[in-house]
Amino acid sequence: MNYKALLGTAIVSGVLGYLMNTYLFTPTLSADAVAAAAAAAMVPAYAMWAVTSVIGAFVISWVTGMTGNGVKSGLVIAVSQIVLVDVFYVLDGRRALAAAAASAVVLLVSGVASGYTFGKLSASKA
């Protein structure tokens, strides 16, 4: 197991996810009254980012093992989530189009950046 690639991917995913959610997605979502009514965190924000970043790094590692390409893996994960969550929630009225678009940008950027980081750090293990 390549711990350097996993750690680097978790850091990039966590930092980008935090920044993009804080400055793009959350402000957009806060204008969405439907989503605001359902917002109640189970854990503190720092714990959420730590847990999801580490899990995300393992998922990128797993998918990259099948595709052989970190960026392609990040795109597969991001597009899947966009279709399964954002498109679905827009169509059933639980998410405004602007919030879904902001979410899609966050997912695509963080997915590609995480996949790129994993790919580069995996390649450097020689």
Average pLDDT over residues 9-21: 88
| Calculated CA dihedral for residues 62, 44, 82, 38, nearest 10 degrees | 140
Most confident segment among 3-17, 30-44, 112-126: 3-17
Backbone CA torsion sign across 72, 74, 77, 78: negative
* Residue located via tokens 């498109």: 87
Of the candidate ranges 20-29, 35-44, 78-87, 115-124, the one whose mean pLDDT is the lowest? 35-44
Model confidence pLDDT, tens digit, residues 39-56: 666 778 788 889 999 999
